[in-house]
Structure 1
């Protein structure tokens, strides 16, 4: 976590004006502001230039970490029949593999197909902040620290407006499923869809075109505001890999937040984690909501197992974990 911690030290030592001058001097005149507005373009994942890279060392971590499972769905993705059968059970998908493959083909008639997260040439050490939605973000004052990362991951309905001091305002990847979808204010933010059924792929098409799909198992947004050219879709095989290898089949399937964390582990060099875990009373609630159900838990997800894995990743030095208050 060397690159990120250097930035942290700079943040702690510099007042706001000094921090601004640091960015300007680093990026050169007005170029720093232009650079921050550009769509995120991660380079070749094999060219990690960190002093310590996330994919190096530790027998336990390497027994779980599988770089051959591509996180994103493409037109060329070959989801196996076995993995499809597992995935379709998550939310009772009635469709067969052929219908799923036709849906994938239709999706990539509208959205960029086979978009790569890699490129050639050297790059710097890429740091990422994964921001969960836990109440423990409140009064954390971690917003500026979160925004120091090269890429910031957010999930579902997470707002930043009026919460910037604690959660930051930068969003590079916004991960959602149809029932949790929100409009994206920033045209440079990637919408990352987590599909749990074939209908989710058809909803994605509808949300950018006709708006005809308004209900799945809940009412959903009929239209969504986002950059069509930056849409990405999580691979069902990646979801299964996270569930079986990392979570050891705990819960019905991984939470969106944990999938976001594992995605960051696979595409970033350094991963910094904020906003995960229950509150002081053991309740799982969002930082922007009042808790009405005093017995709120994590539903189909194994919150305790996910949190335990986050702590273990931190202990192993694979992530930098900020548990909050």
Structure 2
């Protein structure tokens, strides 16, 4: 028995020693990680607050302070009452967060969309709505093109990842892509407006069409097609649904990832190819290096040289030899601005979070069109409708973690009530 006690005592001492060493190593690792994280954070904050000498003026709004951000967050916390009871109360809450330090509030300046002579344009409405006036930047750049290829701009935006900056691409590849986007059509959303406008018509009316089930049996097709421009997104199926959603497409919004997911996920419903017509333009959301490679290949009718979409022939998603005039590329400043100011969700720190593709499309219209009508977007009664208007049977709307659709729903309601957009609702 004494032998067993001796062995057990030795084992306890070894386990104790091992535990102490493990604890010491764990504490040391935490201290080292804390120092590295703190250093990296300070570096990012320092870079975010630096104003580079750039050909593009950096625009710092004087209203960008903690009080404004908190006021906006408080307003966004209001949850629109619905007819559908939310089982999980936390799901419907939008919690306030800290100001967007790591997604800086310095933006370049572009006055392209300030020259409209429309007396009832959205920008005039924004000036009269206090909460919207505080967050709306009239000179935010919407698109990027060859003029943006400067080392100063690249260094300013290199600290931001995903679609919010240039961390996803090196300068050489960025220059190769943006050098292709050098036509007037790449700089302005409505590049054919002077040709298509009738007489002295001053206002650009846009219909922004989501794919929500609320459009099923809506008979809004003609009303949608009567707008000057029609925006569509993802599985934008029109054939067979013209009476409800129309058939024209002026702009199709996507990233390479959402395009391919839509072609795969909605093929069963009839989405077998992107909209193609003489008026159709393709608006890229640059959330990854693959988007810069794809738009360059499509615009120059060449292959995707490397990466996940590497090909042996030019991409044919956009028709044969579409030409660079068919393409537009959203600016990282614009995408960061809409996330910071319009849709800064409670889980904004998540690496995967970004506004939905539909939200990006609608907010682009809000900043470029004179008047906006929105169809097929989520409303408080979303539970009464199938997820998509082309569903053959009722399908419940799924809320994915990379978007915050209920915050988007609240924003659309507020914009509608303010008169900034006209949102289609059945009730």
Asked if Structure 1 and Structure 2 have the same fold, meaning a TM-score greater than 0.5 normalized by the shorter chain, the answer is yes
Structure 2 residue aligned with 1:241, among 309, 316, 337? 337
Query: 1:130-145 alignment to 2 at 5 Å?
Result: 130-145=208-223
TM-aligned CA deviation for residue 308 of structure 1: 0.5
Match of 2:162 among 60, 65, 88: 88
* Superposition deviation, residue 238 in structure 1: 0.7
- Partners in 2 of 1:243 and 1:82 — Cα distance? 18
Q: Tell me, yes or no, if the aligned pair for 1:147 and 1:170 is still in contact at 8 Å.
A: yes
Q: Which has the higher contact order (CA 8 A, sep 6+)?
A: 1
CA contact (8 A) 1:76 1:114 kept: no
Deviations 1:112-135 (A, max 9, x none): 654575789964222111101111
1:102 aligns with 2:153: no
Residue deviations 1:46-79 (CA, integer Å, cap 9, x gap): 23323x3211221211112112211111111265
**Structure 1 residue 44 displacement after superposition:** 6.3
User: Structure 2 CA distance, aligned partners of 1:49 and 1:238?
Assistant: 23
Unaligned runs of 5+ in 2: 1-111, 260-272
Q: 1:258-307 CA distances to partner (integer Å, 9 max, x unpaired)?
A: 11111111111111011011674388723224579757223411100011
1:46 and 2:115 matched = yes
Rounded to whole Å, the distance in 1 between the matches of 2:363 and 2:208 is 10
Quote how far apart the aligned CAs of 1:146 are: 1.0
The alpha carbon displacement at 1:184 in A equals 2.9
Report what 1:30 is aligned to: none
5+ long unaligned stretches in structure 1:
1-42
Is the Cα contact below 8 Å between 1:73 and 1:234 reproduced in 2? yes
Whether the 8 Å CA contact 2:145–2:179 is kept in 1: the answer is no
TM-score, normalization by structure 2 = 0.57
Alignment of 1:300-311 (within 5 A): 300-311=402-413
Separation in 2 of the partners of 1:222 and 1:292?
Answer: 35
Partner of 2:383: 281
- SS at 1:188's partner residue? coil
- Is the 8 Å Cα contact of residues 172 and 189 (structure 1) preserved in structure 2? yes
Farther-moved stretch of structure 1 (244-253 vs 140-149): 244-253
Q: Secondary structure at the match of 2:122?
A: coil
Q: CA deviation at 1:225?
A: 2.3
Please give the alpha-carbon distance, in whole angstroms, between the structure 1 residues aligned to 2:113 and 2:140: 16
Structure with the bigger percentage of helix: 2
2:145 and 2:181 in contact (8 A); partners too: yes
Query: How many residues get paired?
Result: 280
* Conservation of the 8 A alpha-carbon contact between 1:54 and 1:270: yes
With over 3 angstroms needed to count, the CA separation of the structure-2 counterparts of 1:111 and 1:85, relative to structure 1, is farther
